[in-house]
Each structure stands twice: as structure tokens, then as C-alpha cells.
Amino acid sequence: MDEIEKVLRQHRVRPTAIRLLMYKFLQERKVAVTLNDIESGFDKSDRTTLYRTIKTFEKNGLVHQIDDGTGVAKYALDEPQTARAGNTQNLHLHFHCTSCNETVCLTDHTIPHISLPEGFVTQDVNLVLKGTCDKCSRK
């Protein structure tokens, strides 16, 4: 049995043809992708299916959505170990390059703790750095 198939099953996602293809597609890309990026990567299949597929992935903890401020949602695979470990890796920061428009997960860089005024309870954090990425700043 395929390795990807196993991962999907572990997350209770039935491994259909499109789902396997999309997972592979996400693995190949090192950066976060939009639904349009995914659509461009598949000659076949319909937008809606791809949309629902990525949402299924998200709901079942296979990918996370990234809001980098560009206005369009991006998605990236969760770290494989995340599910097993205490998902510390899950909360990481993202870097959005305003030059090439790519957004990457910086899973090594955890988000510093931030103290808030009395009464505020934090459940989630979104931290996005914007600027020029390594590739673009070298040019």
C-alpha cells in the first residue's frame, strides 16, 4: 500500500484518486499554495472538488490554512510529526515575500509568548512576517 494512502487513512480521509494526487502535489511544493495554484496543477478535476478536498484535508489535520495578508487563502501540509507529538510545531510563524509573493512556513521558529491585559484569553496566534525572502534578496 502506498505511503500517502496510509497517512490519509490515519487521518480518516478516504484515499481517492484526486486526494492522493493533491497530497502528492502539496508535498512537492515547498511553499504554501492557493486554490488557484492547485487548480493549475491539475488538468483534470473541477475547482469545487479541489476546494472541498483541501477543506477536508484541513478539517482532518492534514493541512493548515495560512492567511498571509494577500487576501487569498494559502495552504500547506502539516508537519508529519505534528499529529503524534503535542503539536508544538503546529504553531509556527510564516514569512510572506512581497517580491515573489511566496509564503513559507518557518516551522523552526516558534511564536514567542505574549502577555495580554486582564481578561483576554488567547486561543490562537497568527504571525506573518513580510519582506524579501532569501531567493529574492540575493538577486
Partner DNA sequence: GCAAATAATGCACTTAAGTTGCATTTTTTT
Partner DNA sequence: AAAAAAATGCAACTTAAGTGCATTATTTGC
Give, as ranges, the residues between 98 and 127 that touch Mn ion (CB under 5 A): 105
In this structure, what DSSP letter does residue 90 have?
T
* Cα-Cα end-to-end distance for the chain: 44
Residue with Cβ nearer DNA (45 or 89): 45
14 sits near DNA (criterion: CB under 7 A): yes
Name beta bridge partners: 64: 76
Write the binding mask 94 to 113 for Zn ion: x where contact by CB under 5 A, - elsewhere.
Answer: ---x-xx-------------
Q: Candidates 4, 10, 29, 73: give the one binding DNA (CB under 7 A).
A: 73
Can you tell me which residue has the cell 497568527?
Answer: 126
Piece of 25-33, 57-65, 73-81, 129-137 that binds Zn ion (CB under 5 A) = 129-137
Rounded CA-CA distance 137/97 in Å is 10
Burial 81-108 (b: 16+ CB within 10 A, else e): ebeeeeeebeebbbbbbeeeebbbbebe
Give the burial class of 35: count Cβ atoms within 10 A of its Cβ; 0-12 exposed, 13-18 middle, 19 or more buried: middle
Contact call for residue 90 and DNA (CB under 7 A): no
Interface pattern 22-61 for Zn ion (x via CB under 5 A): ----------------------------------------
Interface positions with DNA (CB under 7 A): 13-14, 16-19, 34-36, 44-49, 51-53, 55-56, 71-73
Can you give the binding site for Zn ion, defined by CB under 5 A?
97, 99-100, 133, 136
